[in-house]
Structure 1
Amino acid sequence: MKELFDILLQTLIAFFSILFITRILGRQQVAQLTVHEYINGITFGSIAATVATDLGQSTGGHIVGLFLFGALTLFMSYLSQKNRGLAKVIQGEPILVIQDGHILEKNLSRFHYTLDDLTHLLRKKDIFNIQDVKYAILETTGEISVLKVVEKENVKVEDMKLKVDQEDLYTDIIVTGNIIYDNLKKRDISVKWLTSQLKMMGVKDIKDVYYATLDKDKKIYIDYFNDNLNNPADITEAP
């Protein structure tokens, strides 16, 4: 009975300690979790669980450790606000991953994101065609910010009284230089047809293609490993 009471008491202490620390750190810390805050969040949970269930060690020592990690998190946030260079080291900085409908593969790999990760984030933004994207920026929180090309901005069709064709889903046919044969089969397309179309589009080697899709009218979109952009944008800050 005493052990049950001790666990109940320590759980309450751990819960309200975490609640108190979270309120001190502020709502922004919860809504936009940075790397060091994520690490400390895991540590908070681990220490709080120990406080709640470990009856063999000093509860006071665990509570001190809990508040110490909270103080360190607050201190790192303070330093980040005061020193922009240090903030970039601790939190990282946003990076451009799409420009003018072209995927910037090197920038994407810096965040260890795959093509599937990128297309997933775009779909969450209701974007199914990369050609609709003027700029896409991968934020330090792992979210993506998108600026569409002006022709694809959200304007209500009924307001403009225009007749437009409904877009359909796009089929992935090449991913990182590899043909997706199953998708070709689903669309009843032969490899010979695909290679002939790519040749007409100037593709010398399929291995040069990072990503290619096919629309309902069999129009092919191609993104190369080497995009050769005329005016590559750079959103990073000068050192």
Structure 2
Amino acid sequence: MNESSNTKHYSGSGEMKVETFYRPFLVFVVGYLFLRITGKKAVAEMHSFDLLYTYILTNIISMPVEAGNVGKAFTYAGIIVILYKTFIHLSTHNKLRWILYESPTVLIQNGDIKKTGLKKVRMPINQLLSQLRVKGYTDTQSIALAVMEETGSISVIPKSEYRPIQPKDLKLPVKKEYVPIPLIMDGQIVYHNLKYLQLDQSWLMKELNKTGNEVQNVILATYLEDGSLFIDNNDIQDHKNDPYYYKPGRNN
């Protein structure tokens, strides 16, 4: 009897340990897949029902960790994902969009602060001014239009006389913008970018050898417009108390 009960005890204990590991792992993986199926919109924009969807889905997929009914929880989560995708699809139609989403609210128009708009979004003046400072605006008179978007973010359009000068204003020719292409990130080679540029690892190693760098010591290496390689490594340069290289804190 004792040996049998001990065997059952150890067996049950082993199963419990395995279950304790696989259940949270399974919940995490399935929850991640559901969010990937939903798309970036649920995380990036967060409208009212985006928040509701995320809150409900989070609660549903976390239920199996405590309750143990994995199948039912995942079924419910799948239904919520389908409903959410349906709402997203419906929101692409202009007539339904104005029902599902809140309309943007004007906070400043032609330099005048709209009290009705602030009251509608329940935003005090000091918070509005703070949001404007974050965006680089200190004077409301310089703003043509400030709007709280349906996502809760504030968009600001300055008056024409206060906007930054564009090259087009000065009739200056401007070349096409080039985005440096990462070839090494955190000591790891980005092979798909090498392939895209029709380069190989031997070319990269040759360029690194010219500068005396090794792959594992490179934080970032990017392919520049002129075909050269920019390298940012872990080496710390001593600038001998140069004021231009001051770092706040005691470790400067």
TM-score, structure 2 as length reference: 0.56
Match of 1:145?
155
Q: Is the 2:107–2:117 Cα contact (8 Å) retained in structure 1? A: yes
Counterpart in 1 of 2:82? 71
**Matching residue's letter, 1:114:** P
CA contact (8 A) 1:121 1:143 kept: no
The equivalent residue for 1:97 is 107
Alignment deviations for residues 63-108 of structure 1 (CA, whole Å, 9 cap, x no partner): 11111111111111111113x2322222212121101111111122
Residue of structure 2 in register with 1:17 after alignment: 30
- Find the counterpart in structure 1 of residue 97 from structure 2: 87
Larger Rg, first or second structure (1 or 2): 2
CA offset at residue 28 of structure 1?
2.8
Q: Give the distance between the partners of 2:102 and 2:85, measured in 1 at CA.
A: 17
- In structure 1, what is the equivalent of residue 18 of structure 2? 5
What percent of counterpart residues are identical?
A: 20
Gaps of 5+ in 2: 1-13, 171-252
Letter in 1 for 2:46: L
Distance 1:137 1:6, change over 3 A: same
Number of matched pairs: 154
Equivalent residue letter for 1:150 = S
Match of 1:61 in 2: 72
Change (3 A) 1:123 1:3: farther
Is the 2:47–2:101 Cα contact (8 Å) retained in structure 1?
Answer: yes
Supply the distance in 2 between the matched residues of 1:117 and 1:39 (Cα, whole angstroms): 25
CA distance in 2, matches of 1:90, 1:113: 23
Aligned: 1:29 with 2:42: yes
Could you tell me how far apart the structure 2 residues matched to 1:122 and 1:16 are?
40
Aligned counterparts of 1:86 and 1:42: Cα–Cα separation in 2: 23
Unaligned segments of structure 1, at least 5 residues: 161-239
Task: Let me know the Cα RMSD of the aligned residues.
Answer: 2.0
Corresponding position of 2:130: 120
| 1: CA distance, partners of 2:23 / 2:113 | 51
1:43 aligned residue = 56
Instruction: Supply the distance in 1 between the matched residues of 2:80 and 2:16 (Cα, whole angstroms).
Output: 27
Q: How far off its partner does 1:110 sit?
A: 1.6
- Report if aligned partners of 1:101, 1:133 keep a CA contact under 8 Å in 2: yes
Q: Does residue 106 of the first structure (1) align with residue 116 of the second (2)?
A: yes
Residue 154 in structure 1 maps to residue 164 in structure 2? yes
Alpha-carbon separation, structure 2, partners of 1:3 and 1:40: 32
Q: Match of 1:28, as an amino acid?
A: K
CA distance in 1, matches of 2:150, 2:108: 16
How far does the alpha carbon of each residue in 1:113-143 deviate from its partner, in whole angstroms, 9 at most, with x for none? 2223322221221112111111111100111
Partner of 1:176: none
Q: 2:56 is aligned with what amino acid?
A: T
2: CA distance, partners of 1:136 / 1:89:
23
Runs of 4+ in 1 over 6 A off after TM superposition: none
Cα distance per residue 1:164-186 (max 9 Å; x no partner): xxxxxxxxxxxxxxxxxxxxxxx
Cα distance, 1:29 vs structure 2 = 3.0
2:73 corresponds to which letter in structure 1?
Answer: H
